[in-house]
Amino acid sequence: MSSTVSRPLVVDLDGTLVATDTLHEAATAFLTHSPLGVFRLAGWLRRGKAHLKAELAARTELDASVLPYRGDVLTWLEAEQSNGRRLVLATASAAWQAQAVADQLGIFHEVIATADGVNLKGSAKREVLVERFGERGFDYLGDHGADLSVWGAAATGHVVVGARRSLAERVGRVTEVGMVFPSPEGRLRALGSLLRPYQWVKNALVLVPLFTAQRLDDASAVLQMLLAVVAFCLVASSVYVLNDLADVVHDRHHPRKRLRPFASGRVGLLTGWMLWPALAVVGFGLSVAFLPALFVAALAAYLVLTTAYTFRLKRQPVLDVVVLGLLYTSRIVAGAAAIDVELSMWLLTFSMFFFLSLALTKRVNELTRIRRTMGQVGVQVRGRGYVETDLELLSSYGVASSVAAVVIFSLYVDDPKTSVLYDTPELLWCGVPVLLAWLMRVWLLAHRGTMDEDPIIFATRDRASLVAALLVVAVFVAAKVVTM
C-alpha cells in the first residue's frame, strides 16, 4: 500500500463535496416555513454559530438525496475509496447534516462535525484533525481560505477552486498541492437567470391602460408607463428570487427545475437572501421618486400578495389559481395608477376570468404530465395542494373561465360606451372568434401535456399565438381608424 493510500483523506462538505452551504440550507428551510423567524435567527447567531446550528437542527431536516453534489469531486472520492483509501468527512456543518450526507453516499468511514457547542472550522478543525491523525498524517480536500491552517497540517492539500482562483497558490505555500478541481463556469449567467428576464413579458400588462385609454400620443404618459414597467420588473424579479429560495428543495426533485441556480448550487443561497431585498428596494425607490403614490400602493399590494403566494397560498388548492389571476390583473391596475386613468369594469372582469383560465392551464398541464409519467392514481403534486384526480375538475373550471372571458369581451363590444371610443366598433366582433379559438387551442395543448407550464411564456414562442395576438391588435386598430 502506498503512503498516499495509507493516509486518510479528510474531506470538507460545504462548497467542496456539495455546491452549497448546509447552514444556509437549514436557515432557508426554517425561514420558508417561518418567515418571521428571521428575528430568532439573529438571536441564535449572537450566541455563536454552533448554537445557531444546534437550534436549526432541532427545527429542520436535510434531504441529502437531492443535494447538489459536485460530480467531479464525488467521482474522484469514490475511486479513492474503492482503492482502499480511508475517507473522513470533516466539516463545520452540524453533525446531523454531515451524518445525513455520509449515510446517503456510503463512502465515508468516519464523520467529524460541529457538535457540543464547538464550531468545527479553521483552527478548531485543525486541532481535532491533528489530535486524531497527527501532524502531516492526513490529506485534506477543501475549498475555502478559512481552512488554510488545516492545509498547513496536511501532508497533501487537494483544492476545490471557488470564488478565489488564487486559493491553490495559497495552499501551495503551506503544503504540497495535489488535486485541483476547477470552479464551474457560468456563475454570472446563473445570477442573471435568477431574475427570470423571460418572465418580464408579463409586465407588458402594465401598458394595457395606456392603450385602452388611447393615450399613446401622450409623451409624458408613455414615459411614466415605461418607468412603471421597469419598477415592476425589478420587484417581480425580487419575488422570483425569493420564490426560488423557498422552493429550492422541491425544485431539486423536479426533472427540469433542478437545474435552476439555487437548486443546482451554481448560486449560493446567501446570495439570494441578499439579492431579493436589494431588487425590491431599487424598484420601490424608482417608484417613489418618479411615479404616483397610487402606483406605489399597487406595487406594494402586488409584493405582499405574491409573497403570501410564495410562502403559503400556492399550497392552497383553487385559492392559488385565483391569486395568480389577481396577480396578472394587478399589473393592469398598477398601470392605470401610473398614468391616473380610470379602469372600466369590463376590462377588470375580463382580465380576471382570462388570467384565471390561463392559471388553471398551468395546473392542468402539471397534472397531465404526472398522470402520464407516473401512471398512479391520486399522486400528489409536490409543493402544491393538488392530486392527480383533480385533473378533470380543474379542466372544467378553466374552460368555463375561458368561455366567461369571451362572453365578457362580447358584452364589452356591445356596450354603447364602446362606440364612443371607436369609429367602427362593429369590427371588434372580429376579435371574438380569434380569442375563442386561441383559448380553446391552449386548453387542447394543456390536455395533451405539450404546453410549457407558463402559458404566457408559451404564447411568446408559439407562432399560432403570435398570429392570434397580431390579429386582435389589428382588429382594435381597424375599429379605431376605419370609417364605414
Once rounded to an integer, what is the mean pLDDT over residues 92-114? 93
- The length of the chain, given as a count of residues: 484
Residue 43: strand pairing partners: none
Please, what sign has the CA dihedral across residues 231, 233, 237, 239? positive
DSSP state for residue 70 in the 8-state scheme: -
Q: Which residue has the higher pLDDT, 164 or 463?
A: 463
The residue among 169, 184, 199 that closes a domain is: 184
> What is the pLDDT confidence band of residue 479, given thresholds at 50, 70 and 90?
confident
Structural domains of the chain, count: 3
2 has pLDDT over 60: no
Region 338-362 average pLDDT: 91
Q: How confident is the model at residue 342 (pLDDT cuts 50, 70, 90)?
A: confident
Task: Please compute the mean of the pLDDT values over residues 70-96 and round it to a whole number.
Answer: 94
- State whether 12 and 135 are in the same domain: yes
% of the chain beyond a pLDDT of 70:
95
Q: By residue range, what is the domain housing residue 164?
A: 3-184
Predicted confidence at residue 311, as pLDDT, reads 85
Domain annotation covers residue 198: yes
pLDDT for 13: 95
pLDDT band at 454 (very low <50, low <70, confident <90, very high): confident
What phi and psi, each to the nearest 5 degrees, are found at residue 52?
Answer: -60, -45
Q: What percent of the chain has pLDDT over 90?
A: 62
pLDDT over 60 at 372, yes or no: yes
Residue 69, domain member (yes or no): yes
Residue pLDDT, tens place only, 325-336: 999 999 999 999
Q: Provide mean pLDDT across the span 24-36.
A: 90
Q: Is residue 13 in some structural domain?
A: yes
Residue 207 has pLDDT above 80, yes or no: yes
Task: Compute and round to an integer the Cα radius of gyration of the chain.
Answer: 28
Give the three cell numbers for residue 256: 427540469
Q: What is the DSSP string of 182-206?
A: PPPS-HHHHHHHHT-GGGGGGGGGG
Question: Mean pLDDT, to the nearest integer, of 234-255?
Answer: 92
Closest CA to 159 of 140, 187, 184: 140
| Same domain for 28 and 162 | yes
Mean pLDDT of the chain: 89
pLDDT at 1: 42
Q: Which amino acid is at 421?
A: L
- DSSP class per residue in 223-243: HHHHHHHHHHHHHHHHHHHHH
Residues 288 and 193 in one domain: yes
pLDDT (tens digit per residue) in 135-155? 999 999 999 888 999 999 999
User: Do 172 and 258 sit in the same domain of this protein?
Assistant: no
Kindly report the pTM of this predicted structure: 0.86
- Mark whether 350 and 223 lie in a shared domain: no
Q: Are residues 208 and 158 part of one domain?
A: no
Q: What distance in Å separates the CA atoms of residue 13 and residue 69, rounded to the nearest whole number?
A: 10
In a domain, 67, yes or no: yes
User: Which of the listed residues 151, 184, 217 is the one where a domain comes to its end?
Assistant: 184
Q: How far apart are CA 111 and CA 88, in angstroms?
A: 6
- 133 domain-assigned: yes
Among 386, 390, 473, residue whose Cα is nearest residue 438: 473
Q: Residue 271 falls within a domain, yes or no?
A: yes
pLDDT of residue 64: 93
Residues 179, 200 within the same domain:
no
CA–CA dist 473, 430 (Å, integer): 11
Residue 318, in any domain of the structure: no
DSSP helix, strand, coil percent of the chain (3-state; round to 5):
70, 10, 25
pLDDT tens readout for residues 258-300 = 999 999 999 999 999 999 999 999 999 999 999 999 999 999 9
Domain boundary among 331, 363, 393: 331
Same-domain status, 349 and 476: yes
At residue 297, the pLDDT reads 96
- Sorted by sequence, the CB contacts under 8 Å of residue 213 that are 6+ apart come out as 336, 339, 341
CATH number of the CATH domain containing 68? 3.40.50.1000
Average pLDDT of 433-445?
A: 93
Based on the domain organization, do 101 and 112 belong to the same domain? yes
Q: Sign of torsion, CA 231 456 247 104?
A: negative
Residue 350 has pLDDT above 50, yes or no: yes
Residues 29 and 149 in one domain: yes
The pLDDT confidence band at residue 162, using thresholds 50, 70 and 90, is low
Helices marked H in 109-218: 123-133, 148-153, 167-172, 187-194, 208-212
Residue 461 predicted with pLDDT over 90? no
Tell me the mean pLDDT in the region 169-194. Answer: 87
The verdict on residue 338 lying in a domain is no
Both 451 and 428 in one domain: the answer is yes
Integer Cα distance of 152 and 145 in angstroms: 11
Q: Are residues 171 and 195 in the same domain?
A: no
